[in-house]
Amino acid sequence: MTAKKMGPKDINLGVLVATLAKMPDQFYTKELSNHSDMLAAHLTLTNHSHYHGFVGKRLAKEFDGRTLQRARSTSHPRKGMLWKKTAPGRPTGPQVETATRAPAGTGDVREKQVVQEGHWMALQYMAHPMFREVRALFERYEQIGGVHFRPTDRGVTVIDLHRDSPKPGVGVGEDANLLPGTKASDIAPTMWDRIAHLRRIRQHTRKSFRERRLEAYLIRDAQANQLCIPGFPERLRFINSQWRTHEAEGNQFPDLLAVDLVSHHLVLIELKVEPDPSAFDQVESYLRFFQEHSDQLDPFFSRLAQVMGELYDCPELADLKAVKTAGAGLVVWPAGGQVSVQNLEKLEGLEPDGGKR
């Protein structure tokens, strides 16, 4: 029997991407290939005389000129090629790190990285043609009832949007994070386990989470209508949900993020199930956070807007060149069977439209 011929294709792309997210901005090939995660995932390959070369060739094929660049004139006789991280539309070098002061009185200045390398890897995965097959797979199962894909530093998180679930917004499966590079064919055998997980949550949830259901309805409808959000001004397009902000009082999450097609600003949206004036303070804190970290957030959400436009057939977003710092916040609650959109910080020409699409 002829032994199977090994090669770069045998390097697990998902593990490779996940390990890349843990590497520093510059690294040598063997620093990556000798990482414990890589070694554990390639037990049948690590003794191969060309294992490190396979890793280098897979890096070159998948990432060279995109999120990695080879320092062609710089290599190490024992460590291999030197690689430097980049990302489409992402600032490189020191400006990515933003100095953020610690609470008053500590005298400390700490670096705060709010967009991690893992976020960029997840976003690159969503932009890859293979991801359309992943989206189609999850949408094929009516028992799930629709999903939202959220790029995180741990991969792409798959979020439940079922209209009849008392508690949507949960992960689809016990592990709802898809590692970058995961193919639809890899996910398919897990689908019924994912559905069983959702059914257990739905069966054991005793109350209705009204705010989550409102959010799921708005996202589900937007994704079915070229990202137009029902009841919101026509110029807004949905792109993301529940982005973590790091505040002194703990993590907070704007419910929805949209792009204003007229001004190209990010718009942060807080949802409430009934009128709640305190929500305006929440949105003001979100706006401050986004403005303070615009050097990291603007390029990331610019690319996310393009990717969402490509995935959900919204050419206005797909062709958008850049998104600017969050310039407006909206607070929304149901009113008379529609949604009442309340301006927090008015953009020129952006007026509440009484729930009209």
What domains are there in the chain, each with its CATH number? Answer: 8-86 (1.10.10), 117-204 (no CATH), 210-343 (no CATH)
Q: What is the pLDDT of residues 119-154, one digit of tens each?
A: 888 998 999 989 999 999 999 999 999 999 999 988
From first CA to last CA, the distance across the chain in angstroms is 66
Confidence of residue 245 (pLDDT cuts 50, 70, 90): confident
CA atoms within 13 A on the CB side of 182: 21
Residue 348 has pLDDT above 70, yes or no: no
What gap in Å lies between CA 178 and CA 289, rounded to an integer? 28
Report CA-CA distances (Å) from 37 to 6, 9, 15, 64, 68.
19, 18, 7, 21, 20
What gap in Å lies between CA 86 and CA 171, rounded to an integer? 30
What gap in Å lies between CA 151 and CA 180, rounded to an integer? 10
Average pLDDT of the chain is 82
Residue 109 has pLDDT above 70, yes or no: no
Confidence of residue 2 (pLDDT cuts 50, 70, 90): very low
